[in-house]
Copies of this chain bind each other. A is one copy, B any other.
Amino acid sequence: MSALSGDTRLPRYQRLAEALRQEVVERRWKPGDRLPSENDIAALYGVATGTARQALVQLVKEGLLKREHGRGTFVRRPNFDQSLFRFFRFWAKDGVRSVPESRILRRVMAAPPGHVARSLRIEDGGGAINMSRLRLIDGEPVVAEEIWLPLDLMEKFLDVAEADIGPLLYPVYDEVCGQTVARAEESLTVESSAPETARLLRLEAGAPIIVIDRLARGYDDTPLEWRRSRGAADRFHYHTEIR
């Protein structure tokens, strides 16, 4: 039986949640792994099953775990259905969400601009990988992306053959660099398209463009990727419920 660590003034279920969170952060439990059952966790940490349950439910709410009745509790594989991209109309074709084809236009080592360096916590003089990518559906360009990676964590990504890079980058980061993207922050703004972007996306210059900036982080909050994506605004439609 492990002891619960941390501030003893905190509720047990919160201290237990923190202990379980650490198991994931420190990669002892990986995405897809099954956790011990409620009763086992309760016994292991010396709390009642109801208390263990409360901790598990909280971690589900946070998006770290997933529970399946009769099967068990699992470390959730982050997926990015919540990404603002899902609100581009072309993304969902015939009701089914499709991953667009992707074409890498550039992949080089480079010095990141100041705001990217700050976001990725790159020290002065620290290096980065810069990538330019175009995403297409039925051969038609729909999103242009500019991507920056911190060189120290992602260096091996430079060695990957282009043929081995599919339309999804995060599984590659995971397999090649051992870095799991656990969450991200996104922000959305609108601009009038610059000539170069307009050419890439085959729009007239000045057409409204949605700009989505994303900072992806690991389980321990380490910044792993900075990405700026641009798409035609007339194909964007966001819907939400408020109370």
Distance, CA A137 to CA B185, complexed state (A): 30
- Tell me if A118 is interfacial: C-beta within 8 Å of chain B: no
Q: List 14 A-B contacts (CB under 8 A).
A: A83-B242, A84-B238, A84-B240, A182-B243, A183-B242, A185-B242, A187-B238, A188-B238, A188-B240, A189-B233, A189-B236, A190-B190, A191-B208, A192-B208
| Best-surrounded residue of A185, A188, A238, A242 (most CB of chain B within 10 A) | A242
Find residues 63-85 in chain A having any chain B CB closer than 8 Å to their own CB: 63, 76, 78, 80, 82-84
What is the 8 Å Cβ interface bit string for chain A, positions 35-79, against chain B (1 contact, 0 not)?
000000000000000000000000000010000000000001010
Q: How large is the interface on A (under 10, 10 to 19, 20 to 34, 35 or more residues)?
A: 20 to 34
- Tell me if A154 is interfacial: C-beta within 8 Å of chain B: no
Residues on A facing B (Cβ under 8 Å):
63, 76, 78, 80, 82-84, 182-192, 206-208, 210, 233-234, 236-243
Instruction: Report yes or no: B189 in contact with A242, Cβ–Cβ below 8 A.
Output: no
Instruction: Report yes or no: A233 in contact with B190, Cβ–Cβ below 8 A.
Output: yes
Q: Using A192-B207, A206-B206, A233-B233 as known contacts, list a sample of 7 further A-B pairs with CB atoms less than 8 Å apart, ordered by residue number in A.
A: A82-B243, A84-B240, A184-B241, A184-B243, A185-B239, A187-B240, A188-B240
